[in-house]
Structure 1
Amino acid sequence: MRISSTLLGVATLVAAAEAQLRGFNYGAFFMNNAAKKQVDFEYEFNKAKNLPGTTGWTSARLYTMIQHGTTNTPITAIPAAIKTQTKLLLGLWASAGSANFNNEIVALKSAISTYGTAFTNLVVGISVGSEDLYRITPTGIANRAGPGVQPNNLINYIKQVRMAISGTGLSGKPVGHVDTWTAYVNASNNAVISNLDFVGVDAYPYFQTTMANSIGNANATFYDAYKQTVAAAKGKPVWVTETGWPVSGPKQNQAVANAANARIYWQDVACSLLAAKVNLFWYDLQEAQWGNPSPDFGIFGAGDLGTLSPRYSLGC
């Protein structure tokens, strides 16, 4: 394994968790817009626990508390996590307006009352939003579609969540936010950071087309973003909530998507983060069960997870 010298140089800046979190990101629906059911989440969570060449992938990051296709019913990933004993980084979607966020709060409260400590004991953190500041902050890379959330509104959402979990089994769980490193280094978002218990950062050298972003530079590009996030985090723990390299897709500046490069990125970035005990949620276990996403970041391709082998080695 090649341990990043860049990471070793900044490791002392990072307060690593006592028990490192290793997980993947899990969407609420498939490419055909069909909602994932409890059995689907169970299937994915169990696959993650049995990856060849590695251990400890027992955590899951969610983007929403709401079951896809419903107004405010709790997502079925929760009973799946209880059954498989998968730790949860909860997510509340914040880029769809206040009415939708109120429904996220309803689903959160309902999950607490429905599942009790079987649920709350598995929660390792709560992320209020995902890349919402990125959508409204023109820093470095083109904004994605979506309304985003202004910093003051996001702070109000964070306060809503703290009120909602007060006096419940989730009281005291760390409340954070997930965004791109470009959003965190923008001083206009400093007030958001001040209201967080942890900072979740998403960083993809593949998409950083204004920089030297070949696979040969990807390790340095990632850790430059990571170090800048740590510097902007006001001493808060920094969790890597999304990163990865696609196995297929269009060339992005110097970045070429293929399995060989995805393996290099895993070895250089994932393995070094694991060695440094940084909480990590990789993107992605399986981009699509069927269909042809482009780019495709999945460790596994389309098809039945139970019959598939990884597209590249996961050993360190």
Structure 2
Amino acid sequence: MQLRNQLAASLGFAATAAAQAYQGFNYGATNNDGSCRGYDDFRGFFERAKGLAGTEGQFTAARLYTSIQCGTAADPISAYQAAIDTDTQILVGLWASAGRAAYENELNALISAAKQLGTAFTDRIIGVSVGSEDLYRASPTGQQNNAGPGATGAEIEGYIGWMRDWFRGTLLEGKPIGHVDTWTAWVLPENAGVAASVDFLGHNGFPYFENTKPNSIDLAADNFWSAVQQTESVAAGKPVFITETGWPSMGPQSGDAIASVENSQRYYSQVGCALFGQRTTFWYTLVDANTAQTELSFSLTPLDSATPKFDLTC
């Protein structure tokens, strides 16, 4: 009953907050061995996502973490052209945890892409995210977990204002601007200014990792929706996109959470199938690519095969 009530409340919010719900996956700029992804890689993955058995072609969007092509200083990422050529919608991402100079390169790459590719590119933009989990990494919890360099709320607010200034008078003007983070970062008082300055909030939620409380697969759906409600509590009615969620099919035990194909499928069926078509969602993930998580596998398909690890029918 608790889950049903949470689900109804959350989906009701989603229906009023966004006119259209997109479904897609997260795509990093590199492979899990650290090698750079190029146009052929992105095109192949976008086509694979659309053709996944059992999904009726519903995965037609892509979330990116950077606008810069791997191996270059500030060239637009080749995923943009691949998205045009496969008619894939894009949640653009700019890396925002490497300082102002690196962020300026991100802005330059995105502006260049808009100039070079025109409306074929910009018409496919769902929104633009300034950073991903920067606030979490900068928080005491992130620092305690050695999560890496982050950015403060004040820095992210500044980057958002900078972006709005640079978008003025370009094909990117008016595109929704947001930020992606964990609920634990969104609810911190020092980050209220970020929530106030964005057009949408991205929510990354992994009950598997929340091992400071009971987090078995039996509790996963309730834990997921409880976390979403925390992010919604500071959203002031703005859309909340589910930008990352999933359950690993392989990996170490995390608290009560066990990684297995069976549990990955159960999480997909209980959480994913409730999200798809109702709320903009980027599942984690189509193909493993996180160089820091080589002992974990969240992918729905292996790198070298388009055959899903389990039945994806909802």
Q: TM-score range by the shorter chain?
A: over 0.9
Secondary structure at 2:75's aligned position in 1?
coil
Instruction: Give the Å deviation of 1:30.
Output: 1.1
In structure 2, distance between residues paired with 1:216 and 1:20: 27
Structure-to-structure mapping, 1:145-184, within 5 angstroms: 145-184=147-186
Instruction: Give the Å deviation of 1:301.
Output: 2.0
Partner of 2:268: 266
Structure-to-structure mapping, 1:62-211, within 5 angstroms: 62-139=64-141, 142-211=144-213
In structure 2, distance between residues paired with 1:141 and 1:8: 35
Instruction: Give the Å deviation of 1:108.
Output: 1.0
Instruction: Give the Å deviation of 1:295.
Output: 1.0
In structure 2, distance between residues paired with 1:110 and 1:141: 35
Q: Which amino acid in 2 is paired with 1:22?
A: Q
Give the TM-score, by structure 2 length: 0.94
Matched-pair contact (CA < 8 Å) for 1:134–1:143: no
Instruction: Give the Å deviation of 1:5.
Output: 4.4
1:243 to 238, 242, 245: 245
Q: Which amino acid in 1 is paired with 2:38?
A: K
Secondary structure at 1:232's aligned position in 2?
coil
Instruction: Give the Å deviation of 1:56.
Output: 1.7
Q: In the superposition, relative to structure 1, how do residues 113 and 270 fare at CA in structure 2: closer, same or farther (>3 Å)? A: same
In structure 2, distance between residues paired with 1:259 and 1:210: 23
Give ranges in structure 1 of 5+ residues lacking alignment. Answer: none
Matched-pair contact (CA < 8 Å) for 1:58–1:86: yes
- Deviation string 1:231-281 (CA, Å, 9 cap, x unpaired) is 111221100000000000000010000110001100111111125x11100
Q: Which amino acid in 2 is paired with 1:294?
A: E
In structure 1, distance between residues paired with 2:180 and 2:168: 21
- Deviation string 1:48-72 (CA, Å, 9 cap, x unpaired) is 0011111321100000000011100
Matched-pair contact (CA < 8 Å) for 2:52–2:307: no
Matched-pair contact (CA < 8 Å) for 1:4–1:269: no
Partner of 1:309: 307
- Deviation string 1:154-207 (CA, Å, 9 cap, x unpaired) is 111011111121111111110000001110111111011000000000000000
Secondary structure at 1:91's aligned position in 2?
strand
Q: In the superposition, relative to structure 1, how do residues 140 and 164 fare at CA in structure 2: closer, same or farther (>3 Å)? A: closer
RMSD: 2.0
Q: In the superposition, relative to structure 1, how do residues 10 and 117 fare at CA in structure 2: closer, same or farther (>3 Å)? A: closer
Instruction: Give the Å deviation of 1:19.
Output: 2.0
In structure 1, distance between residues paired with 2:230 and 2:143: 16
Between 220-229 and 163-172, report the one with greater CA deviation: 163-172
Matched-pair contact (CA < 8 Å) for 1:200–1:238: yes
Matched-pair contact (CA < 8 Å) for 1:249–1:257: yes
Matched-pair contact (CA < 8 Å) for 1:36–1:68: yes
- Deviation string 1:32-63 (CA, Å, 9 cap, x unpaired) is 22211101100000000011111321100000
Matched-pair contact (CA < 8 Å) for 2:136–2:142: no
In structure 1, distance between residues paired with 2:223 and 2:117: 42
Instruction: Give the Å deviation of 1:9.
Output: 3.3
Partner of 2:6: 6
Secondary structure at 1:226's aligned position in 2?
helix
Matched-pair contact (CA < 8 Å) for 2:187–2:234: yes
Partner of 1:18: 19
Matched-pair contact (CA < 8 Å) for 2:208–2:254: yes
Between 171-180 and 159-168, report the one with greater CA deviation: 159-168
Q: Which amino acid in 1 is paired with 2:169?
A: G
Partner of 1:41: 42
Give ranges in structure 2 of 5+ residues lacking alignment. Answer: none
Matched-pair contact (CA < 8 Å) for 2:179–2:202: yes
Instruction: Give the Å deviation of 1:141.
Output: 9.5
Instruction: Give the Å deviation of 1:137.
Output: 1.2
Instruction: Give the Å deviation of 1:138.
Output: 2.4
In structure 1, distance between residues paired with 2:230 and 2:193: 17
Matched-pair contact (CA < 8 Å) for 2:94–2:130: yes
In structure 2, distance between residues paired with 1:75 and 1:197: 24
- Deviation string 1:132-168 (CA, Å, 9 cap, x unpaired) is 0000112599544322111111111011111121111
- Deviation string 1:207-248 (CA, Å, 9 cap, x unpaired) is 001011100000000010001111111221100000000000
Q: Runs of 4 or more off by more than 4 Å in structure 1?
A: 139-142
